[in-house]
Amino acid sequence: MIERVNPSYLKVVAKTFRVIETLSQAKSGVPLSELARHVEQPKATVFRILFTLKQLGYVEQDPTRETYKLSPQRSWQTQNELRETLRAIARPHMERILARFEQTVCLGMLDQNQILYIEILEGLRSIRMAATVNAYAPVHSTSLGKSILAFLEPLEVEGILSRKPVTKLTGRTITSIGRLRRHLGLVRKKGYAVDNEETERGARCVGAPIYNTQGRPFAAMSVSGPISYIQGELVPAIAETLKDASGKISRQMGYVGRPSDPTSAPEV
């Protein structure tokens, strides 16, 4: 090919994409030695490529099996396309939830190990939340983040928590990793998460996960308002409504769950 003799042709980029293409065709993880043979490159070269891709979040390593695979966090559909598709599908559901509870409804995606707000419908009578569209929020304290973390694979959760500090935002923020793990176990059993003044004082939020076609929670939807209003029996009522809406959004996004699948969206 002409590009290969052109001084503008970068061999390392070509090698990187050969690795990515090989991983994309594998149904499960690929050992380093096998990958090196397939792309016809030295193991040391392939290892450096994998290490870089792993640091950037594009590749995951299973240390027990010593295999590599593309990270489900990275969609080869552009983030903007995915964001717009999710926003369009979720918007009618968000409007119905706003009309019923009159509290702020938020839609967020997991992005760069944080929650990115992509749509917010302000409540009709709630306190104004500090969150804004296109702003980031932590995963460990928000109901959006916790509802996603609870249903991710343990290895991915550990990776996210190791890369982002578990910062104390209020006196109620969970900052102990052990306590957070136990808390996420409860979230998984219930199918929804509650942020009890863990991100903002005076605010309580209820969130439920949204799944992609691979059965991975990549987004979530929440209802936020003052703790004086979102309390008692209203919390489970909001939670069931969110779980139902999030399940419908997941299916519209292409998710097909199976009862035996531990990552299946909770049945409601």
Q: What is the pLDDT of residues 54-86, one digit of tens each?
A: 887 788 888 777 899 887 655 555 567 788 999
104-111 and 114-121 strand pairing: antiparallel
DSSP three-state, residue 42: coil
Task: Kindly write down the DSSP assignment for every residue of 154-199, as one continuous string.
Answer: HHHHHHHHHHS-----STT----HHHHHHHHHHHHHHT-EEEESSS
- Confidence grade of residue 246 (pLDDT, cut at 50, 70, 90): very high
More confident call, 66 vs 192 = 192
Task: Give me the pLDDT at residue 73, please.
Answer: 55
Do the beta carbons of residue 238 and residue 206 sit within 8 Å?
A: yes
Please compute the mean of the pLDDT values over residues 179-187 and round it to a whole number: 96
Alpha-carbon span 131 to 224, nearest angstrom? 10
Q: Does the pLDDT of residue 258 top 50, yes or no? A: no
- Confidence grade of residue 261 (pLDDT, cut at 50, 70, 90): very low
Q: Which of 64-73, 225-234, 244-253 has the lowest mean pLDDT?
A: 64-73
Task: Give me the pLDDT at residue 268, please.
Answer: 28
Task: Give me the pLDDT at residue 263, please.
Answer: 39
More confident call, 95 vs 21 = 95
CATH 1.10.1200.10 assigned to domain 2-70? The reply is: no
Domain covering 79-252, topology = Beta-Lactamase (3.30.450)
Q: What is the pLDDT of residues 105-119, one digit of tens each?
A: 999 999 888 999 999
pTM of the model as a whole: 0.70
Tokens of 53: 């891709």
Q: What is the pLDDT of residues 29-60, one digit of tens each?
A: 899 999 999 899 999 999 999 999 888 778 88
- Confidence grade of residue 8 (pLDDT, cut at 50, 70, 90): confident
Task: Give me the pLDDT at residue 5, please.
Answer: 57
Q: Does the pLDDT of residue 260 top 80, yes or no? A: no
Range 30-55 burial, b when 16+ CB lie within 10 A, else e = bebeebbebbebeeeebeebbeebee
Please compute the mean of the pLDDT values over residues 92-110 and round it to a whole number: 96
DSSP three-state, residue 92: helix
Q: What is the pLDDT of residues 142-175, one digit of tens each?
A: 999 999 999 999 988 988 988 878 999 999 999 9
More confident call, 194 vs 84 = 194
Task: Give me the pLDDT at residue 266, please.
Answer: 38
Tokens of 152: 């991710």
Q: What is the pLDDT of residues 79-93, one digit of tens each?
A: 677 889 999 999 999
Structural domain spans, the chain: 2-70, 79-252
